[in-house]
Structure formats: structure tokens, C-alpha cells
Amino acid sequence: MNSEKKPSVTVKKKHIQIIMDYCIETKQEFSVFPKVSSDEWNIEINITDINKAISFGMFLREYKLEANGVTPYVAPAKESPAPKGKAEKTVESKVVKETVAPKEEASLLDLESPSFEFEDAFQK
């Protein structure tokens, strides 16, 4: 017998069939032991291959089950940008207006800009 610890899952009676079906489909060796003081069952799976271990982990995640001794992964919260205050918004709008206005005036008064003249095709 191996001294290595086997992955195990503690489940209620209604989830035993789901795990047994998975083990039979993937040809995994498993053992089922009742917990003494509750209606839960401990299922040990004999996994020998890393690919089977990953597959079993994905199976557990799909059915929202957790393996014994494994802490669930919690994704870090995304940092949201701080809301802009009223003073910052007014300063930004003034800066935008000042930068836009001179460009518009320059393009309207620019007399050396290229102009295109088209011949009227219907005047033959």
C-alpha cells in the first residue's frame, strides 16, 4: 500500500452517484467510507496520472465540489479607477475646450490649404 495521500472528497449521499459515474467512465479506482457522526461520505480516488488529476479537478469544479485539504482559489478583485470629483471634471473640460478651439479656428482661416477642383462630367 502506498504511503502517499490520495485525493478525497467528502460529499452527501445525493452526490455519491455523480462521483461514482465519473470514476467508472474514466476507469479510476475509488473507495467509499462513511463518516461516523454525519450523513456524509468520504470518497478516495486513486489517481496516478497528472492528466487524470487535472480532469478530476475540472470535474469537481463543474459540480461545485471541493477536494479535501485543498483551499479554494479566490481570484483577486479588480481595482476600479477612483471616481472623478466635480473639480477634476471641470478642469478637464476647460482644458479640452482650450485645445479644441484654436485648432478649429486655424483650420477655418487657413487659406493655403489644398483645394480640389472637379470638372463637371456632364458639360460635354
Enter the pTM of the model.
0.52
Amino acid making up residue 101: A
Residue 11's DSSP bridge partners are 41
The model's confidence at residue 18, banded by pLDDT at 50, 70 and 90, is very high
Could you please report the per-residue DSSP string of 23-50?
HHHTT-EEEEEE-SSSSEEEEEEE--SH
User: In the prediction, which pLDDT does 1 show?
Assistant: 44
Residues 92/98, Cβ–Cβ less than 8 Å: no
User: In the prediction, which pLDDT does 44 show?
Assistant: 92
- Given a cut of 90, whether residue 22 has pLDDT beyond it is yes
Residues 26/47, Cβ–Cβ less than 8 Å: no
Domains and CATH numbers, the chain: 8-62 (3.30.70)
Query: Using one digit for the tens of pLDDT, what is the confidence trace for 77-87?
Result: 877 666 665 55
Tell which residue, 61, 24, 67, has the closest CA to residue 44. Answer: 67
Place of cell 472637379: 118
Query: Using one digit for the tens of pLDDT, what is the confidence trace for 38-56?
Result: 889 999 999 888 999 899 9
Nine-digit cell string for 28: 479510476
User: In the prediction, which pLDDT does 71 show?
Assistant: 72
User: In the prediction, which pLDDT does 31 show?
Assistant: 92
Residues 29/46, Cβ–Cβ less than 8 Å: yes
The model's confidence at residue 97, banded by pLDDT at 50, 70 and 90, is low
Q: What count of other Cβ atoms lies within 10 Å of the Cβ of residue 9?
A: 22
